[in-house]
Structure 1
Amino acid sequence: MMLPSPFMDAFGIQAGDTVAIAGSGGKATLMYRLAAEAVIRDYTVITTSTTHLHPPTSLQTNGLYITEEISNWLQVIPGELDRHQHVTVLGGRPRPDKLRGLSLKDLDLLKKVCRPDLCLVKADGARTRLFKAPGDHEPVVPAWTTHGMVVVNLHAIGLPLSEKYVHRPDRVAGLTGLQLNDPLTISTIAQVVSHPTTYFRAFPSGTNVFLYLSCCADKPQRAQAEAISNAIPANTFAGVFCGDINRSQAAITTLRESI
């Protein structure tokens, strides 16, 4: 019997789609959750990154392949995908705890050769900070992307606008008028994620871009998520959702749908 796939259902993800995930505080967790749900649907799945990624565990993927370590990777990986159903493919291993992503050119080749049912791409980094404003060079999104995800961790609310907690705090300050070391507010978060110069400029025209508010585990956090959703102009995102993947029974809640 097919198990439920609430996250794929919420985002309307189907076979043939490519999902690019950006933001902070839960991108990889969301990516591997979507991969697990897709495997239950009997999809073949490639997870990857265009920036960097921590090495996945055996619970997150069925196989890890580093292209710079496999001279004939375009011949090897299609068979491994057929065998394992879900594989993770990265470009290099600069450190034991850090994997380098694929170039868009190599990702294009990989997709054409492997033809996975679903391609999931971590499209930017946040250096483990709980909030960020993307730089001019990110997110790095494939041109064939069908779904975009912007992830924000609700634990960021109330934290100081500083390098300790925020990636590129000066850019957040410039976008919102918030002063450095002032607490991050619901309004600040809504302004950054909905600003046309942050995430939306990177996604191809026609991409369904969703906002996912992570670590929503109780009623107060649900209220915060609803407040962020209400602070975002109508029809900005294709949908706004909150959820908590780390709970024993992962759940996702629809806050707003525009399509």
Structure 2
Amino acid sequence: MIPGIDPDKDRIIATAGAGGKTSFLQHLASLLQQSGRTVLLSTTTHIYHPDVDGFAGRVDRVIRCSDPEELYISRPEPASITVAGMACEDRQKLSGIPATLPAELIRRNLYDNILIEADGSRQLPLKAPSDKEPVLPDGCQVIVGVTGWKGIESPVSAETVHRREWFSAVTGLKAGDRVSPEALSVLINSPVGLFKQPHLQQSAHYFFEKNSFEKKSSAKTPCKKIWLLNQLDSQKQQQAGRAFALEVLAHSPCIHTTLLSSFSQSYPWLERIKNTSLYGLNYDK
């Protein structure tokens, strides 16, 4: 199973960020299904229909809802994957289910695990969330913050960063700058960065004004945070990613688990990396 995730306890898992959210959730869904669990893969924003993104062959059923209560009616088969979302004008996509729905589906024991893609990135490798993102589901226990290596090894630009003005406001990086470990640690640790959790805050509102953020609320107990550094598709990139991640972790004590990954090959590659300042050097493939 994925390091840092306990399927029996972590029943609602969401992804945010950019550079591999869908690939990670599809991989996790497959692992959970293979272990005999009943899985729902959905979104609170938009996802591609599995016929479009190539996941259809591993999905047991797809539900395009006109009413979210349709998900209460049809009980899934054991050890299966359901992909569900609301009907969308774009037939290639599914729109988001209500953020309150996953917790109710778990309460009714319809699914063992529910996986939610909680924001969009227009297939770019880096982003910072807007004031309305991510749309995390109620009862979320784990948030996996994803960053793509392609954005780290390239200068900041409109071609590498989604919502670049928000990204610049959080990190201080301008167009043409390189993403340093220090800058990425700011993105990870900022209350309006990669692990922003508005659904766990009282009257959560963040205002974006003049390249700065102002917090208007106090936080409740946060989700478990897993950082996924994806798109490490070669041995050279994996080596560079390990070194980069260790530098980031030296400034990011809030991270529960850090994972390095590549989903570009037939067999996904995944490795856990521990913060040397806390644990000593340790990689788990």
CA distance in 1, matches of 2:139, 2:101: 14
- Equivalent residue for 2:207? none
Q: Contact 1:187/1:228 (CA < 8 Å) preserved in 2?
A: no
CA distance in 1, matches of 2:15, 2:69: 28
SS in 2 for 1:171: helix
> What are the within-5 Å matches in structure 2 for residues 86-125 of structure 1?
86-125=81-120
- Equivalent residue for 2:269? 251
Pick closer, same or farther for the CA change 1:180–1:115 going to 2, 3 Å: same
Name the amino acid aligned to 2:45: T
Name the amino acid aligned to 2:272: T
Alignment pair present for 1:13 and 2:3? no
Q: CA deviation at 1:180?
A: 1.9
Give the one of 42, 56, 60 matched to 2:36: 42
Moved more, 183-192 or 35-44: 183-192
Q: CA deviation at 1:45?
A: 0.5
Q: Contact 2:170/2:192 (CA < 8 Å) preserved in 1?
A: no
Moved more, 50-59 or 219-228: 219-228
Q: Contact 2:128/2:187 (CA < 8 Å) preserved in 1?
A: yes
- Equivalent residue for 2:46? 52
Q: TM-score, normalised by structure 2?
A: 0.79
CA distance in 1, matches of 2:86, 2:131: 22
Q: CA deviation at 1:214?
A: 0.9
SS in 1 for 2:133: coil
CA distance in 1, matches of 2:184, 2:68: 44
Identity of aligned residues (%): 20
Give the one of 51, 59, 83 matched to 1:61: 59
Pick closer, same or farther for the CA change 1:71–1:106 going to 2, 3 Å: closer
CA distance in 1, matches of 2:79, 2:34: 13
Q: CA deviation at 1:47?
A: 0.5
Alignment pair present for 1:77 and 2:74? yes
Query: What stretches of structure 1 of length at least 5 have no aligned partner?
Result: none
Q: Of Structure 1 and Structure 2, which has the larger fraction of its residues in helix?
A: 1
Q: Contact 2:106/2:112 (CA < 8 Å) preserved in 1?
A: no
Name the amino acid aligned to 1:62: D
CA distance in 2, matches of 1:221, 1:131: 17
CA distance in 2, matches of 1:158, 1:246: 17
CA distance in 2, matches of 1:229, 1:256: 8
Moved more, 94-103 or 110-119: 110-119
- Equivalent residue for 1:229? 246
Pick closer, same or farther for the CA change 1:108–1:142 going to 2, 3 Å: same
Q: CA deviation at 1:220?
A: 2.5
Q: Contact 2:35/2:79 (CA < 8 Å) preserved in 1?
A: no
Q: State the Cα RMSD in Å.
A: 2.4
Alignment pair present for 1:209 and 2:225? yes
Q: CA deviation at 1:114?
A: 5.0
Moved more, 248-257 or 13-22: 248-257
- Equivalent residue for 2:216? none
Q: Contact 1:229/1:240 (CA < 8 Å) preserved in 2?
A: no
CA distance in 2, matches of 1:72, 1:14: 25
Query: What stretches of structure 2 of length at least 5 have no aligned partner?
Result: 201-220, 280-285
CA distance in 1, matches of 2:226, 2:69: 36
Moved more, 244-253 or 119-128: 244-253
Q: CA deviation at 1:72?
A: 6.2
Q: CA deviation at 1:217?
A: 2.7
Aligned residues: 249
